Structure 1
Amino acid sequence: MEQFLESAPAVAESAPSGPQRIKFHASGSEYFRIWIVNLLLTIATLGIYSAWAKVRRNQYMYSCTELAGASFEYHGKPIPILKGRIIALLLFGGYNLAFQFSPLAGVIMMLLMAAVMPWLVWNSLKFRLFYTSYRGIRFGFDGTLKSAYFHFLLLPILYVVSLMLALPFVHQRIKRFQHTESRYGAHHFSFDAGVGSFYKRYAIVVGLAIAGGVLCAFLGGVLTALIGKSGVLVAIGIGYVGLLLLVPVFLNMMQNLIWNHTGLGPHRFASEMKWTAVAWISLTNIVAIVCTLGLFMPFAVVRWQRYHLESISLLPEGGLDDFMAGADDGVSATGVGATDMMDFDLSI
């Protein structure tokens, strides 16, 4: 799941009344100081400090995320994360070297990676939720390893065999698995978005891409007739901008679909993300990062996190104090270290 929305437990004194919108108190300048120190120390230690950097970053981001008068807390420790990243480095390094020896060795290593990956993702889900708490109560993930192999190995094979036609189906099944097996204390989340709603969103994006391609082809013909061959380049440039705008459209539709169909006991969630705002934040962040040679990165992260989180609200049915902590299961950090190295996004 999404580490339950990304983020020193403070106990709310009364039951919340009405929708409770998430508040994000981080500032770009504060996070810049954390980010630059993390970056310099990670470089100076040849990547070893990256595990400590991750803990510092998460502790700050979680503590700045407030819901119904209380903030989240991150409890992850750097040493287990570092061990996981070392194992991941050896695994992925062996994968890259295998193809240099022989194609057969490469294929064998690729099959090994496919066999190990569901375990890594499963461990990552357990780690991220177990080391997150809200109001002193931990989150957890109860999905079995067998189910993880079904969702993260067999279903992706179906996606490949179907020539991507099963992608919305696979996406829906994975999100249902992640959400329904996640819990807050002893209470599980629920997820009731159907497969058809996923196919509808994917169809909209594909339709927009096709319509944009036809429009750019027509525009290219018109511009070529008016200004010559350079008109084709102008049309191609417009096409690339259009494709770039499809990303925020997809992110907007997926976040709203997923969180508007997620519940926790009697409580529900709502997401009101607007694609125009996502597009504006994404484009201006990219321009600012390029113009500052990357120094705007922490400010861009805070801008995106603030809009992403503050678009989500909790719709409570009664008080929140009835949620009791469930059993705390110990988990390994190997999975979270490995998936971080591969930049997995488990939220969408």
Structure 2
Amino acid sequence: MSLPPSDASPSGFDGGQTPASAHQVEAFVFSGRGSEYFRIWIVNLLLSIITLGIYSAWAKVRRTRYFYDNTTINGSSFEYHGNPIAILKGRIIAVILIGGYQIAFKFSLGLGVLALALMLAGMPWLIWKSYQFKLYNSSYRGIRFGFRGSAGRSYFNYLLLPLLAGITLWLALPFAHQRIKKYLHQESKFGATHFSFDASVGSFYKTYLIGAGVALLGYIAIMITFSSTLAALGAGLQHGGAAVISSAGLLFLSLYAWTFLIMPLFLTMIQNLIWNHTKLGQHQFQSQLKWSKTAFIMITNLIGIVITLGLFAPFAHVRWFKYRIESVTLLAAGSLDNFVADEEAQGSVAGEGISDLLDFDLSL
């Protein structure tokens, strides 16, 4: 999804702005449970393995429908209409496209590079079509979502902007991120009503700088705390022996732990920034994700998955999804019954297959 305009800081530390009294607050609610989703997940996994991946298209539909059916706002849930046969065809095409360049490399480096270049050149078009497919197959109260866009703008956002970010040593990454999100949200619609997005490039740079600044301060503090260990390592471990090795282990563990804590901070700030600057017609969204709770959920999810050798994964998915979706509210400027349907083309199943294989997050 995308989010509404807010005068609050994009940092996400306090969750955002208090809604105006003129709006009716409509909360998103997720009623799914980890135990329910575990049964769907384990059956999907086993059948996908047995069928050598063929069932994965049906698994995707079952999984998506479960999360849509259990996500409600104003008493109504979302619906997913994706056809597993269409998704399977898309995945077959995607496997051929992705596998083709890998096979080409075995014949010659030049042929492989050419095949890779052709695949990457077609990727923005496939992403554009995948947006259309995903949104068209999502609905609320019988009205479908949609995506306009164009091939030209998709190439600008998904080919030229990533190249620009790389050429500038990622200094242009916040700019590219803002443009991509603006493209996605402004071109999306619900029925005949369009979304809008007004987060500035400056707000994205501010968010990135806050995240980088907090990360840097943490790394400096850790380095100062372990300064004696670093000095001993620099001297070649002539003094201290096992004690220095143990301290060095704690140093690297601290660096890794701090890096892991920074991820929830950035995710929190970005979600709040994006949602708090997106509207659907005159209806605003608001996100109140908290860094502390995001970090707690992510850390405990990781521990649970490791301890259970992966079996906790569906429970982790439900916990994270529930917190993210229920952190968002809709500040309705009027009745949610006044939307008008507007049919759109379904888009490309090949794009849907590519997005799944490359793990793009394209849905509202």
Q: TM-score, normalised by structure 1?
A: 0.93
Aligned equivalents of 1:325, 1:345: Cα separation in 2:
25
Q: CA deviation at 1:17?
A: 7.2
Q: 1:102 to 1:215 in 2, by over 3 A?
A: farther
Residue of structure 1 in register with 2:245 after alignment: 229
Q: 1:257 to 1:17 in 2, by over 3 A?
A: closer
Which amino acid in structure 2 is aligned with residue 55 of structure 1? V
Residue of structure 1 in register with 2:177 after alignment: 171
Q: CA deviation at 1:318?
A: 1.4
Q: Larger relative contact order (C-alpha < 8 A, sep ≥ 6)?
A: 2
Residue of structure 2 in register with 1:281 after alignment: 297
User: In the alignment, does 2:230 pair up with 1:214?
Assistant: no
Residue of structure 2 in register with 1:311 after alignment: 327
User: In the alignment, does 2:189 pair up with 1:183?
Assistant: yes
Aligned equivalents of 1:77, 1:201: Cα separation in 2:
39
- After superposition, the C-alpha distances for 1:220-278 in whole angstroms (9 at most, x for unaligned) are 22356784232122111101000011111011000000000000111100000001111
Residue of structure 2 in register with 1:57 after alignment: 63
Residue of structure 2 in register with 1:31 after alignment: 37
Q: CA deviation at 1:347?
A: 6.3
User: In the alignment, does 2:87 pair up with 1:71?
Assistant: no
Q: 1:17 to 1:70 in 2, by over 3 A?
A: farther
Residue of structure 1 in register with 2:122 after alignment: 116
1:37-48, aligned counterparts within 5 Å? 37-48=43-54
Residue of structure 2 in register with 1:11 after alignment: none
Structure 1 residue runs of 5 or longer lacking an equivalent are 3-15
1:1-348, aligned counterparts within 5 Å? 18-223=24-229, 227-346=243-362
Q: CA deviation at 1:94?
A: 1.5
**8 A contact 2:137–2:346 mirrored in 1:** no
**8 A contact 1:266–1:317 mirrored in 2:** yes
Aligned equivalents of 1:240, 1:331: Cα separation in 2:
42
Moved more, 234-243 or 153-162: 153-162
- After superposition, the C-alpha distances for 1:179-203 in whole angstroms (9 at most, x for unaligned) are 0000000010000000000001111
Which amino acid in structure 2 is aligned with residue 327 of structure 1? E
**8 A contact 1:205–1:246 mirrored in 2:** yes
Aligned equivalents of 2:90, 2:28: Cα separation in 1:
32
Which amino acid in structure 1 is aligned with residue 292 of structure 2? T
Structure 2 residue runs of 5 or longer lacking an equivalent are 3-21, 233-239
Which amino acid in structure 2 is aligned with residue 73 of structure 1? E
Aligned equivalents of 2:44, 2:350: Cα separation in 1:
21
Which amino acid in structure 2 is aligned with residue 86 of structure 1? I
Aligned equivalents of 2:146, 2:245: Cα separation in 1:
59
Secondary structure of the equivalent of 2:340?
coil
Secondary structure of the equivalent of 2:226?
helix
**8 A contact 2:134–2:363 mirrored in 1:** no
Which amino acid in structure 2 is aligned with residue 299 of structure 1? F
Secondary structure of the equivalent of 1:203?
helix
Secondary structure of the equivalent of 2:171?
coil
Q: TM-score, normalised by structure 2?
A: 0.89
Aligned equivalents of 1:330, 1:90: Cα separation in 2:
22
Number of residue equivalences: 335
Aligned equivalents of 1:328, 1:347: Cα separation in 2:
16
Instruction: Among all aligned residue pairs of Structure 1 and Structure 2, give the percentage whose two residues are the same amino acid.
Output: 54
Moved more, 228-237 or 31-40: 228-237
**8 A contact 1:129–1:140 mirrored in 2:** yes
Q: CA deviation at 1:205?
A: 1.5
Residue of structure 2 in register with 1:12 after alignment: none
Q: CA deviation at 1:18?
A: 2.3
Aligned equivalents of 2:66, 2:342: Cα separation in 1:
25
- After superposition, the C-alpha distances for 1:69-126 in whole angstroms (9 at most, x for unaligned) are 1100000000111011111111111122222322212221221121111012111111
Which amino acid in structure 1 is aligned with residue 359 of structure 2? D
Which amino acid in structure 1 is aligned with residue 244 of structure 2? G
Moved more, 325-334 or 27-36: 325-334
